[in-house]
Structure 1
């Protein structure tokens, strides 16, 4: 294996614990191993599977992530990426070597952007989808991000290990976030705006349970768990060629339970990509209070997205 693909895990005791017994993990050859001999091999792409029993959703296939990659690389989410980078730059606690966790990283678009903008940072990124993490690690030319398959409800990370968590269009586990964040650390959470995908939502209205969308519940839940430092709405409407409209339609969770072939996508010539970027600071007592408390998981139709 390329030594550079292994090098990113040389200090894994700084961050990682065994997902089975929660003991410290160490690099042993081409694997991560705990004192109880639980062993997790580093794949040739440069990631490690720390949730080997996890099952991937049928909606998140290699084709789905290929469509996501196409849309992201075409620049349709660049304004959101810029807002995320600005939030990290402005609010991440001062640390010569900040640790940033991308929770639900998908194909790695935001994790790679943060690492490129902050070469001194330790960027860790995980997803429950093995296919997405494989793609992310394969496309990481920097060989710097620590990619892993992980379980949001039981993160294989030490207590108070990270300074910043990115949660971009993903579910959130407030108990685990509070546990792995250092006191004073921040969460940058991105949720869809009210106009996000509005053209597709209107086209598919007859097939959806809800024809309008509100992120108010998610925003309120976030504010109950973190001290909100900033909130910003970013929105842009793009002219979009038919092939990109189709790729977007096959990517968005909005249409996961809709027969896309039954939709006349030819009616769509532009799409609005809108998000609200929330920044919250971990409360001083949240690590201890949430470590053994009730875990809160919030998910929403359309929240898990590119």
Structure 2
């Protein structure tokens, strides 16, 4: 598919979402135009890029997340099915709450888009429901990678604390191993909607932690503070531990190291030693927390 066609397709797909947009500059309603733009009532305009995404940041923000990181994460998720048990479980949760034939879903901190794409596919296969999906991230490099996918999904560069969407428009918010802004989450959710947050468990990537760090306190992870903060803002309706191991080849080991911020803190010698593994069994230990707005 050529890039011009992708721009047009994604613009046309955004028309399904037209009533959810608000201008990130002034807060006015927005329309999708035939010239592949989002334009508000006060004429603030944002172009759909030729790659098939829209940048809705009023000003550029640089993050630490690089193109190489997102390419590696996408490879690990798609070619090694690294997170498939997690995304399958999320799809099952969405399916059982009976949102109907069309579910408005927003992935907050979507990165390179592999999780949203996988969840949408799994929901469609399991229940036949159509996911009207949007993924937003502050990192333009992640959204550029997400936009390469062929699925018709809306990808936008956006500030997660001030998203360009009206209040109460989404059935489900996803937040997978990503920072949160819970006040914004509550604003965006429909009454009766869900927020599905995935947090690392104690043993998440424990083999990598042991290899990269000598300090024992870095060998495990506590999600207690994260869960406590979540429960301050939402009524928890379900909690699901999802833990399994994945056998990684040397190529996949290199993807893992490139994609994880854990490597930012490790010394170069330990990283090089870990990359020599021809294969390794890696623990994926997560917890899925499902919440609703507090009444």
- Partners in 1 of 2:235 and 2:60 — Cα distance? 32
Gaps of at least 5 residues in structure 2 are none
The answer on 1:64 being equivalent to 2:69 is yes
The one of 54, 58, 62 equivalent to 1:48 is 54
Aligned residue number for residue 89 of structure 2:
83
The one of 218, 221, 228 equivalent to 1:220 is 228
Aligned residue number for residue 246 of structure 1:
254
Instruction: Identify if the C-alpha distance between structure 1 residues 199 and 130 changes in structure 2 by more than 3 Å, giving closer, same or farther.
Output: same
Normalization by structure 2: what TM-score?
Answer: 0.89
CA contact (8 A) 1:54 1:151 kept: no
Aligned residue number for residue 283 of structure 1:
294
Deviation, structure 1 residue 159: 0.6
Following TM superposition, the consecutive aligned residue runs of length 4 or more in structure 1 with deviations greater than 6 angstroms are none
1:115-168 Cα deviation digits (max 9, x unpaired): 3233622111111111111111111x23x2111111011011101011110000
Deviation, structure 1 residue 80: 1.1
1:265-293 Cα deviation digits (max 9, x unpaired): 13672211111011111234xxxxxxxxx
Normalization by structure 1: what TM-score?
Answer: 0.86
Aligned residue number for residue 172 of structure 1:
180
- Partners in 1 of 2:102 and 2:254 — Cα distance? 41
1:171-208 Cα deviation digits (max 9, x unpaired): 11000000010111100100011111101111122368
Aligned residue number for residue 100 of structure 1:
105
Higher relative contact order (CA 8 A, sep 6+): 1
1:28-85 Cα deviation digits (max 9, x unpaired): 2211001111110001122110014242322x11111111011101112111111111
Q: How does 1:138-149 map to 2 (within 5 A)?
A: 138-139=148-149, 141-142=150-151, 144-149=152-157
Q: How does 1:23-34 map to 2 (within 5 A)?
A: 23-28=28-33, 29-34=35-40
The answer on 1:21 being equivalent to 2:26 is yes
Deviation, structure 1 residue 262: 3.7
Aligned residue number for residue 274 of structure 1:
285
Please give the root-mean-square deviation of Cα atoms over the aligned residues, in Å: 1.8
Deviation, structure 1 residue 170: 0.4
CA contact (8 A) 2:99 2:171 kept: no
User: Could you say which structure has the higher helix fraction?
Assistant: 2
For this pair of structures, how many residues does the alignment match?
280
Gaps of at least 5 residues in structure 1 are 285-306
Instruction: Identify if the C-alpha distance between structure 1 residues 16 and 271 changes in structure 2 by more than 3 Å, giving closer, same or farther.
Output: same
Instruction: Identify if the C-alpha distance between structure 1 residues 258 and 27 changes in structure 2 by more than 3 Å, giving closer, same or farther.
Output: same
CA contact (8 A) 2:25 2:58 kept: no
